[in-house]
Amino acid sequence: MKKQIGVIGGGAAGMMAGVYLARAGHEVHILEKNEKLGKKVYITGKGRCNVTNNCDTEELFRAVMSNPKFLYSAFYSFTPQDVMEFFEEAGVPLKTERGNRVFPVSDHSSDIIRGLERELKKAGAYIHLRTEVKNVKVSPYEEPDVDEKKAHHSQVTGVELADGSFMEGEHVLVATGGLSYQSTGSTGDGYRFAEETGHKVTELSPSLVPLKTKEDYIPRLQGLSLKNSELTIKSGKKVLFQDFGEMMFTHFGVTGPMILSASAHIGKQLQKSGELNAYLDLKPALTKEQLDARILREFEAGQNKQFKNVIGVLFPSSLTPVMLELGGISPEKKIHDISREERIHFEELVKAFPFTINGMGEYKEAVITRGGVSVKDIQPGTMESRKVKNLYFIGEVLDLDAVTGGYNLQIAWSTAYLAGRSAAEAITE
């Protein structure tokens, strides 16, 4: 029997769920308050859209920071390989790059959006742009023959739109995203819908954001990009994060792929302690012994030169003055006058360039939102609410977040597919 289904939000999760619901033969209405679908998808991956990560399903769980176990059914129902197959069949050729990151061959995120739009139209879904949902409507319902603890006591009836009209929906899927990139329409509506229908929303904070730093020498490095450095972040002696990759200095701190991933790991601890110690290994490819041998070679070649004129070959030009400042050796000192202790001390700086993290970026800079609709209120095997019958929550609105690398979009695709399939099956029963 054909049923009318409302999907609130035409982003990654909303579009994917819409495709599978419409393919099952239902009347699907995508309700999107923006003037076009997929506004946030458009800017992901710097406009290239890191669609997923071409890894084993087991690896996905290690990339998820909040509630990975909740995603067991979702990830196994719709794997990264299933996602890739979906887009290839939708006419979007893909490629896998470093770190198993998957992008469209064209390097245009618009191709991903167009692929989803084509599949929605092909399946017969109705797309309503500039259509804002004001409220999710529910009515009392007593579920028969179900354990009291598991029984639904209300069911969804449809949605009230901003223009005052009511759209009936036997099933409603909330795919409104989080609070990150508010310019794309992510204003937290889904959290309000959740709370108003009796669901808990956990504490919200920006994640995958640039980090703010304390030291005055960091802004002086603004614009400097390091492609191969190793970052370690500690709370006291405890290592919170360690990784190798790309980063960039800014006027307020540090950013880049490695930094964004770090923010997902350290957010809670930074909130508690206010400051964390960070160290960059500027020469991670060299052991301490190899670095010492390299510097000794430079020293031998320029014995009568001043220190400042020798070390410049080791670093980018903007970094050299800061290394001289922190290195504990007078810039004018002749190489032959530098003691072994001074040299070793300087090498320690190269292997552990220090700075202090004292803040996180804001929602406007955040790739995703940490926190959301409590997964305790959602059935992991279907994405249906435990509180309201036929109401589903999918994607970023849930209390789920992961590191960079295509994992957050995989969460969106997997939860959307599972909800779409589950709702379609529930209807036919």
Q: Are strands 27-31 and 126-128 parallel, antiparallel or unpaired?
A: parallel
Asked if residue 142 has pLDDT above 90, the reply is no
Q: Which of 77-91, 110-124, 184-198, 344-358 has the lowest mean pLDDT?
A: 184-198
Per-residue pLDDT tens digits for 290-331: 999 999 998 988 888 989 998 888 899 999 999 999 999 999
DSSP string computed for 318-379: TTHHHHHHHSSS-TT-BGGG--HHHHHHHHHHHHSEEEEEEEE--GGG-SEEE--B-GGGB-
Average pLDDT over residues 356-383: 93
Helix (H) or strand (E) segment spanning residue 247 = strand 238-249
CA distance 384 to 406: 24
pLDDT of the residue at 229: 92
CA distance 157 to 337: 82
Asked if the model's pLDDT at residue 191 lies above 90, the reply is yes
Task: Provide the CA 226 distance to its chain's centre, in angstroms.
Answer: 21
| Mean pLDDT on 236-263 | 94
**Cα–Cα distance for residue pair 163/344, rounded to 1 Å:** 70
The letter for the amino acid at 51 is V
| Structural domains in the chain plus CATH codes | 4-206+366-428 (3.50.50.60), 210-361 (no CATH)
* pTM of the predicted protein model: 0.88
Q: What are phi and psi of 134, to 5 degrees?
A: -90, -45
Phi, psi dihedrals of residue 357, rounded to the nearest 5°? -90, 125
Helix then strand then coil, in percent of the chain rounded to 5, is 40, 25, 35
Neighbours of 195 (CB within 10 A): 12
- Geometric angle at alpha carbon 166, from 160 and 169, rounded to 5°: 90
Q: What is the DSSP letter of 218?
A: T
Residues in Cβ contact with 116 at an 8 Å cutoff, skipping those fewer than 6 apart: 15, 16, 19, 37, 38, 90
CA 188 – CA 206 distance, rounded (Å):
12
Q: Please give the average per-residue pLDDT across 167-179, as a whole number.
A: 93
pLDDT of 88-97, one tens digit each?
Answer: 999 999 999 9
Cβ proximity of 310 and 302 under 8 Å? yes
Q: Contact 194/393 with Cβ under 8 angstroms?
A: yes
Distance CA 252, CA 62 (A): 30
Q: Mention every residue, 6+ apart, whose C-beta is less than 8 A from residue 416.
A: 12, 13, 14, 15, 16, 17, 20, 175, 394, 395
